Amino acid sequence: MLQVPFIRENKDLVINRLAVRNLDATTMIEEVINLDEERRALQTKLDTVLAESNAISKEIGILFKSGQAEKANALKAKTADFKDESKELNDKLTSTAEALNQLLYKIPNIPHASVPKGNNEADNEEVYSEGDIPKLHDDALPHWELAKKYDIIDFELGTKITGAGFPVYKGKGAKLQRALIAYFLDKNTAAGYEEVQVPHLVNEASAFATGQLPDKDGQMYHATNVSPSLFLIPTGEVPATNIYRNDLLDEKDLPKCLTTYTPCFRVEAGSYGAHVRGLNRLHQFDKVEILRVEHPDNSYKALDGMVDHVKSILNELNLPFRILRLCGGDTGFTSALTYDFEVFSTAQDRWLEISSVSNFETFQANRLKLRFKNSEGKNELAHTLNGSSLALPRVLAGILENYQTPDGIKIPEVLVPYIGFEYIN
């Protein structure tokens, strides 16, 4: 959530940067400023009324002590009027503050200056690529056909048990899935990220704090038969970041670096067609996350470090990949700057997104009330960052397709110690 003082002091900058998202925020920003002015005026008036009421109350006490009961009782009528007025002002203040917050919840983060203007993924900028696209044999298959051929992922069985988008991993497919999770976590912990296991359901406050609500309300599974209701997590970022909700950290304790493995649940409404076949888009999938809480002065250096870390994993897996800087129209609601990693699916002849690495600056921290005490002893909002390291379905699809041979699917060398065999055949 954007900070009101920042909006007031940088009105034109905020409007211009949000235009990079193809959003004309002029009316919303002006309304924020107007509501804030109304809130401040009400607060000033309420403070004045309360001060006058307190002064009269003290005067009444003095009059009673000095034996001037008649004068004291005469002033009591005034305190009743002040009480009614203060209640009315307090109700108006609460209503105005709530209206202001509800409006702020609808305004996305302002993009970083490096984010290009654009409408959708077609306007994203490729900033890096690595790896040679392998030449497959003539009978090469897409991963959903390979999964059926080697009986390692059963999409139909998942449909029987739950519905489309909930695959069942079997035999060597399940072992490969488990090996990838262990490998990702080991890489992350070796890089200094502390592993945590977190709940797979979160409350409404947690979903608001990291920006899933109200922006992605329709994309989350909602458990309403409990009170309060809970949401299945769309990513491990949500519970892991909320570890620090309402915290006041010390500057010397930054950065905070966490990694977590979780299943993720997404409704993915309206996702149909050949581009979502197999593992390309699921309602339930596994993901390993990394996240950081950083000093604002260090957050973009940390973002570069996270990008390099994900690069190192893909290098070891020997998968061809590219990195995109997302344009304004494709940047997520909470992000100031996002880099997407895509692996090339040779059998499908297209790029598949496997990771997003983002800097949210103070946007999440403001919602989280996540602050640190700086060197001057003042409380300051931290910066939060998050990255997939990595999302399993499309990494698995890339391995199955790019490593297929006439004799079976070769296991990437770095995974062999985790999985205990070299081929799926």
Cβ atoms of 360 and 237 closer than 8 Å: no
The pLDDT value recorded for residue 268 is 80
Looking at residue 79, its pLDDT comes to 77
**What is d(CA 365, CA 123) in angstroms, rounded to the nearest whole number?**
29
What's residue 130's pLDDT?
96
Domain topology for 4-105 = Helix Hairpins (1.10.287)
The pLDDT of residue 56: 83
pLDDT of residue 160: 97
Helices (H), 251-391: 299-317, 363-368
* pLDDT score recorded for residue 271: 52
Tell me the residue ranges of DSSP E strands in 173-216.
Answer: 194-195, 201-203
Instruction: Give the per-residue pLDDT at 272.
Output: 54
DSSP characters over 362-381? THHHHHHT-EEE-TTS-EEE
Where helices occur in 242-337 by DSSP H, the ranges are 299-317
Q: How many CB atoms lie under 10 A from the CB of residue 174? A: 13
pLDDT tens for the chain, 425 residues long, are 999 999 999 999 999 999 999 999 999 999 999 999 999 999 999 999 888 888 888 888 888 888 787 777 777 777 777 888 889 999 999 999 999 999 999 999 999 999 999 999 999 999 999 999 989 988 999 999 999 999 999 999 999 999 999 999 999 999 999 999 999 999 999 999 999 999 999 999 999 999 999 988 889 999 999 999 999 999 999 999 999 999 999 999 999 999 999 999 999 855 555 567 899 999 999 999 999 999 999 999 999 999 999 999 999 999 999 999 999 999 999 999 999 999 999 889 999 999 999 999 999 999 999 999 999 999 999 999 999 999 999 999 999 999 999 999 999 999 999 999 999 99
Annotated domain spans of the chain:
4-105, 121-424
Rounded to whole angstroms, the Cα distance separating 303 from 255 reads: 12
Q: Assess if CATH 3.30.930.10 describes domain 121-424.
A: yes
What H or E segment, with its residue span, contains residue 358? Answer: strand 350-359
Radius of gyration of the chain (CA): 27
- Beta strand ranges found along 233-277 (DSSP E): 248-250, 256-265
Distance CA 165, CA 265 (A): 10
